[in-house]
Amino acid sequence: MNPAISARALEQLQTVFGYPAFRGQQGEIVEHVSNGGDALVLMPTGGGKSLCYQIPALLRDGVGVVVSPLIALMQDQVDALAEVGVRAAFLNSTQTFEESMRIERLVRTGEIDLVYVAPERLMTQRCLDLFDAAKIALFAIDEAHCVSQWGHDFRPEYIRLSILHERFPDVPRIALTATADPQTRAEIAMRLQLEDARQFVSSFDRPNIRYQIVEKDNGRKQLLDFITAEHGGDCGIVYCLSRKKVEETAQFLNENGIRAMPYHAGMEHPKRAANQAKFLREENIVMVATIAFGMGIDKPDVRFVCHLDLPKSIEGYYQETGRAGRDGMPASAWMAYGLQDVVLQRRMIDESEADETFKRVLSMKLDAMLGLCETLSCRRVRLLDYFGEPSGPCGNCDSCLIPPVSFDGTVPVQKLLSTIYRVDQRFAAGHVIDVLRGAETDRIKQWHHDSLSVYGIGSERPEAEWRAILRQAIALGLVTVDHDSYSSLKLTDAARPVLKGGQKVQLRQYVKPAKSKRAPSASKGYVESELSKSEQEIFDRLRSWRMGTAREHNVPAYVIFVDATLREIAKAKPRSLDDLRGVSGVGEKKLASYGEEIVALIGEML
């Protein structure tokens, strides 16, 4: 420990950023990097990674270089720093040559604290020469999981970042990511030559996020009910697999009174960028998107993230849902999931061009995701366990709030498996279920399936229940879906012991999708103190003041102040600049810029 550094770091935290104390491991990380150490930081989204390199960059001599793949967000990041009085700039392909020259000059003369660069830009000779000639305080490699070839955000340019170590051996490097699985962590350390770096692994729990996974019936309608019941007027993100579904869902929400915009890679760039900017700047708006949207989106007040299609892996799911509630206030992660999702994802793996090893990895990741969907116990325990973190029932997921009922599903599964077998493993789900339920269809007559011994043996259950049982049988690996054009169901080797009667199968009871009700809000993870009526009025007033100010400065509203800070101001009702200084999130620069206005505004209202 170096006490001089600790004291200076805390002073920066308080005067520049306006926060009273470091969170979690932030203090240790800042200390380590400020002293010249290398670090690998794993922290969940919203954990507060940025300060881990911003404060060391301020404390050390020279310019902090932040490598980030998120060109579209650099302007907002730089603007947010300017608001707190940190001199920052970026170098990327969106700016003119003259502008680049100007920034390069600032880097060379050290008249700047932080510079953001895209990895491809950093690798240019010109940029490397510039950094040779300048004094560099540190390299921060943000979104470091982009170096992982198995991951979902792989960026080839990231691989080349290992040269930083060779070329600038004395400059500390800090790599940061919110992707936590041990495999990715090892890959980052190896590829970035950070094996000797100190690793800081935070808890990945996001206690303020409530996880819910419901059976899909009519996905869009369920989504609408969920948003209406629990998140009317809130900001949120809805993920869909295909571009077409993104467009359709956005339109559907709009037709039903929810302001929504589409975002996917097939849209024209200007339109896509405009929608992203609008999402960042406005309240009360829903982004319907493919997974192309979201990395680096640090809008703190996203209240819900929904999935209308099954994600490919828990890493992806966790990162996407992690975009909810970065401000620490209650938020939801909601997903609708059904038989079709399982079939589709399995098929996508089988039909992909990837080699066998890669397919096996994809398949294992999908199995873990299915396990999460089908689990009978706490979702959060399951999620954290995937990232190697033990925990206990959370009290803030659907399994904990309304415990699912399990039942011995051996007999129905046997009925299902025999039916698949009796129709020669040549028919798809719809027909198999029709035979089970003893339906009278043309196809049944045509194939004389009404004369089979299994015909009608499942008439006691409605179709939806059979779909749920089949889905679980597929998730359990007893049944596969063939990729011929018929999507016929086939038995696997694992089906044999179940059919023969030796092995029991435990299933999750099908619950008819009900109209979403606001779930009970008590949870041990999060306690929000309510605002009184007069505080709420002040808060609303502060929000509209913030909206106007953000428009004037052309920055997202949260760059001025986040909701949590405005809430605290509404409660504290500061009558002087000194009172205001004590509020978390109000640093010296913001105090100077906005203090008088806020104190006056409060004065008018009291």
Binding site for ligand ADP (CB under 6 A): 19, 22-23, 26, 43, 45-51, 298, 300, 326, 562, 584
CA distance 26 to 41: 10
- Measured CA distances, 406 to 372, 399, 471, 504 (Å): 15, 12, 15, 13
CB nearer to ligand ADP: give 43 or 288: 43
Which residue number has the CB closest to ligand ADP? 48
Phi-psi region of 573 (alpha: psi -120 to 50; beta: other; left: phi over 0): left
CA distance 82 to 230: 36
- CA dihedral defined by 256, 260, 263, 264, rounded to 10 degrees? -10
Q: How far is the CB of 46 from ligand ADP (least distance, A)?
A: 5
With beta carbons less than 8 A apart as the criterion, state whether 304 and 332 touch. yes
CB nearer to Zn ion: give 73 or 394: 394
Name which of ligand ADP, Zn ion, none residue 89 binds, using a CB cut-off of 5 to 8 Å depending on partner kind. none
At residue 452, φ and ψ (nearest 5 deg) are -70, 150
Name which of ligand ADP, Zn ion, none residue 569 binds, using a CB cut-off of 5 to 8 Å depending on partner kind. none
Residue 78 carries which side chain, given as an amino acid letter?
V
Q: How far is the CB of 147 from ligand ADP (least distance, A)?
A: 17
Q: How far is the CB of 207 from Zn ion (least distance, A)?
A: 10
Count Cβ atoms within 10 A of the Cβ of residue 502 and give its class: 0-12 exposed, 13-18 middle, 19 or more buried: exposed
Q: How far is the CB of 66 from ligand ADP (least distance, A)?
A: 12
Name which of Zn ion, ligand ADP, none residue 380 binds, using a CB cut-off of 5 to 8 Å depending on partner kind. Zn ion
| Angle, vertex CA 100, rays to CA 94 and CA 103, nearest 5 | 125
CB nearer to ligand ADP: give 26 or 332: 26
Q: Which residues bind Zn ion (CB under 5 A)?
A: 378, 380, 394, 397, 400
Q: How far is the CB of 50 from ligand ADP (least distance, A)?
A: 3
CB nearer to Zn ion: give 28 or 205: 205
- How many residues does this entry show for the chain? 606
- Measured CA distances, 370 to 41, 311, 340, 343, 402 (Å): 29, 10, 13, 11, 20
CB nearer to Zn ion: give 527 or 606: 527
Q: How far is the CB of 584 from ligand ADP (least distance, A)?
A: 6
Name which of Zn ion, ligand ADP, none residue 298 binds, using a CB cut-off of 5 to 8 Å depending on partner kind. ligand ADP
Name which of ligand ADP, Zn ion, none residue 300 binds, using a CB cut-off of 5 to 8 Å depending on partner kind. ligand ADP
* CA terminus-to-terminus distance, the chain: 47
CB nearer to Zn ion: give 17 or 211: 211
Q: How far is the CB of 149 from ligand ADP (least distance, A)?
A: 23
With beta carbons less than 8 A apart as the criterion, state whether 48 and 26 touch. yes
Q: How far is the CB of 334 from ligand ADP (least distance, A)?
A: 21
Q: How far is the CB of 322 from ligand ADP (least distance, A)?
A: 8
Paired tokens of 482 = 């063939």
CB nearer to ligand ADP: give 22 or 116: 22
Name which of ligand ADP, Zn ion, none residue 50 binds, using a CB cut-off of 5 to 8 Å depending on partner kind. ligand ADP
Name which of ligand ADP, Zn ion, none residue 394 binds, using a CB cut-off of 5 to 8 Å depending on partner kind. Zn ion
CA distance 412 to 131: 67
For 370-413, strand residue ranges (E) read 406-408
CB nearer to ligand ADP: give 180 or 435: 180
CB nearer to ligand ADP: give 50 or 396: 50
With beta carbons less than 8 A apart as the criterion, state whether 106 and 112 touch. yes
Name which of Zn ion, ligand ADP, none residue 378 binds, using a CB cut-off of 5 to 8 Å depending on partner kind. Zn ion
